Chain A
Amino acid sequence: MDTKLRNRLYDKSFYIVGLFATLFGLIVLLTLLIDITIDGFSRLGWQFLTSYPSRKPEAAGVLSAWVGTVWVAAMTVVVAFPLGVSAATYLEEYSKKNWLREFIEINISNLSAVPSIIYGLLGLQLFVRGLNMDRSVIAGAMTLAILVLPLIIISTREAIRAIPTTIREASYALGATKWQTIRNQILPAAMPTILTGTILAISRAIGEASPLITIGALTYVAFLPTSPISLEFPYISLKGLFDPFSVLPIQIFNWVSRPQKGFWIDAAAGIMVLLIIVFFMNGIATYLRYRYEKRMRW
């Protein structure tokens, strides 16, 4: 066979392989979605969202689970975002390029690949037992914060690195200090990408069950953490942080492992709730990226 013909054949066959590979992922995702929807759609509704878990599958709901997920996700952001952005800023802007920085960099990359259950063991020992936080919202949030910290640091560093040097130079040339340059130019310009990375990291965190099971989050919760806002003085309360909790993945896991078929339907509906939350957060991330690309033209 002559070379020309062979090359054309390779060209064609890679096109087909590539197309198949792309469709494969799409088909799997679609099958999953359709299957879940067929199973769970009938249960999804107001009653499902506002009921506590129950012994009877038709009466069970995800109220405590989704409220727990929102609590834990919010607290994870509160803990991980400032820590991650500060660490990334330090590494990019302040630290000298030496062996220590390389060592830290390699370890951060490695940490992002550590199985999440390991973080659960760390959380159990450090937060639940060591710091006596018990199986509380805050212990869960801290554990997940450590889990997503490497992701936030990596995406923040990439965002900072994408800011052109010319912007830095412009700021310094006007007599700005390093901190003024970071605070007023670099971080604001990098913020959309940082937020995108953070949202994606958090949407990974809210899908995690294993680290939270490891720290001992409850699987059957018929109450909510104390509301942070109340009508009585002092109106704001942080007591909820120290209450026990459950989250959606744990609730789903619990239902799936039950023998009654009714709970499997509940599980499917629970997965839909979780997926909706994750899609919604990814939607925000996409929107931010879109706006960023429109606004910034260097």
Chain B
Amino acid sequence: MVTTDTAFRIERLNIFYGEKRALKEVNFNIPAKAVTAVIGPSGCGKSTFIRCLNRMNDLIPVFRLEGKIEYDGMDIYSKEVDVIDIRRQIGMVFQKPNPFPKSIYENVAYGVRIQGFNKKESLDNAVETSLKKAALWDEVKDRIHESAFSLSGGQQQRLCIARALAVEPKVILFDEPCSALDPIATAKIEDLITELKKDYTVVIVTHNMQQAARVSEYTGFFMMGELIEFDNTQKIFTAPSNKMTEDYITGRFG
């Protein structure tokens, strides 16, 4: 089934928000250098799941985790691991474009700056490379010092992708990156994701099944906090082995 290397090895993952259990006994191996989609109805825990992978849930006071998430052989929730290192290796793009209220240039340079690199050449370099990788350079190269808010929604989301790439992560997590975008902007982001999988491990949460089918090689289906099925995307969408997956894919609920 899964033939490539594994990026994330997740064992018996249970997530609690206070008393409420959000994820139940999730076992999941996410392959490296491929696009893995996470689908499921609203409230199924897919966002909770992806936010565990770079420890964004640490920001929630009542969050509690049981089980194990290994990235590249390292337990990312162990005490010896620095959460800052984790987030530098595992970047994230959010639901709504969330550029900083700064210039386009500063948005991309920020992640590099906070690592202590302040030389103009290396910053210029990082900004240009990242914007090119995010297919935004040609549109913004003449107004790179203008406010990021002057960009359209789709451009802002690509800016957020460029910003994540500038830190040179190995993994990029997308948490419903197109839910606030129109179809044309969505198509551009999807092209970009397809492009990125050559160099990066990509995990994308989406409520849009066509999107999962278009961009991913592997798909995991979540429901009520459980991973119901995980397989090749093609198999999930043509011959799912679980009845619930089939019902969801064919639109009987969700």
Contact = CB atoms under 8 A, between A and B. Distances in A.
Interface of A: 96-97, 164, 166-177, 180, 184-185, 189, 295-297
A185 to B, nearest CB: 6
A115 B85 CA distance: 51
Contacts of B77: none
Given A173-B92, A174-B164, 6 more contacts: A169-B59, A175-B115, A176-B111, A177-B84, A295-B147, A296-B149
Contacts of A174: 87-88, 91, 110-111, 114, 163-164, 167
B98 interface: yes
Interface size class of B (residues with CB under 8 A): 20 to 34
B98 A169 contact: yes
Closest 4 CB pairs of A and B: A175-B88, A166-B98, A174-B111, A173-B92
B84 A170 contact: no
Contacts of B61: 96-97
Interface of B: 54, 56, 59, 61, 84-85, 87-88, 91-92, 94, 96, 98-101, 110-111, 113-115, 147, 149, 160, 163-164, 167
A175 B84 contact: yes
B114 A176 contact: yes
Contact of B94 (A97, A170, A176, A177): A170
A185 B100 contact: yes
Determine which residue in A96, A166, A170, A175 has the highest number of CB atoms from chain B within 10 A of its CB, and name it.
A175
B110 A172 contact: no
Contacts of B91: 173-174
Contact of B56 (A97, A167, A172, A295): A172
Contacts of A295: 101, 147
A173 B101 contact: no
A271 B110 CA distance: 49
B84 A168 contact: no
Contact of B167 (A175, A189, A297): A175
24 contacts: A166-B98, A167-B101, A169-B56, A169-B98, A170-B98, A170-B163, A171-B100, A172-B59, A172-B87, A173-B92, A173-B94, A173-B164, A174-B91, A174-B110, A174-B114, A174-B163, A175-B111, A175-B114, A175-B167, A176-B110, A176-B111, A180-B114, A184-B113, A296-B149
A96 B113 CA distance: 29
A189 B101 contact: yes
Contacts of A189: 100-101
Contacts of B54: 173
B59 A175 contact: no
A167 B114 CA distance: 15
Contacts of A180: 114
A166 B99 CA distance: 9
B59 A167 contact: no
Determine which residue in A173, A295, A297 has the highest number of CB atoms from chain B within 10 A of its CB, and name it.
A173
Nearest to B89: A175
Nearest to A164: B98
Contacts of A97: 61
A184 B110 contact: yes
A296 B101 contact: yes
A177 B111 CA distance: 11
